[in-house]
Structure 1
Amino acid sequence: MADLPVRRGSGSSVGRWTRGLDPFERMKELMGFDPFEQVGRMVGGIEPSLSFIPAFEVKETKDAYVFKADVPGVKEGDLDITLTGDRLTISGKRETEKQEDTDRFYAYERSYGSFSRSFTLPEGVDANNINAELKDGVLHLRLPKQPEMQPKRIQVGTTDANKQGKVKA
Structure 2
Amino acid sequence: MKSLVTYKPFTLGEVWGDFDRMIDRIFSDTPIWEARIPAVDVREEKDRYVLEAELPGLTEKDIEVKVEDNLLTISSKKDEKREEKRNGYLIRERRSSAFQRSFVLPTDVDKENITAQFKNGILTLDMKKLASAQPKSIPVREG
- Compute the TM-score of the two structures, normalised by the length of structure 2: 0.70
**Unpaired segments ≥5 residues, structure 2:** 1-9
Partner of 1:81: 65
Shift of 1:142: 0.7
Q: Does residue 1:116 correspond to 2:110, yes or no?
A: no
Give the aligned residue type for 1:64.
R
The Cα RMSD (Å) is 3.3
2:89 to 99, 103, 112: 103
Match of 1:123, SS? coil
Deviation track 1:123-166 (CA, whole Å, cap 9, x = no partner) reads: 121122211000000000011001111123456x6xxxxxxxxx
Within 2, Cα distance between the matches of 1:168 and 1:88?
47
1:28 to 10, 22, 28: 22
Any residues of structure 2 matched to 1:84-163 within 5 Å, and which?
84-96=68-80, 98=82, 101-105=87-91, 113-154=97-138
CA contact (8 A) 2:52 2:123 kept: yes
Give the aligned residue type for 2:134.
Q
Task: Determine which structure has greater relative contact order: mean sequence separation of CA pairs < 8 Å that are 6+ residues apart, divided by chain length.
Answer: 2
Structure 1 pair 57–94 and aligned structure 2 pair: CA distance change class (3 A) = farther
Structure 1 pair 111–55 and aligned structure 2 pair: CA distance change class (3 A) = farther
Greater fraction of residues in helix:
1
- Compute the TM-score of the two structures, normalised by the length of structure 1: 0.61
Within 1, Cα distance between the matches of 2:95 and 2:54?
13
Match of 2:126, SS? strand
**Unpaired segments ≥5 residues, structure 1:** 4-20, 38-45, 158-166
> What count of residue pairs does the alignment treat as equivalent?
128
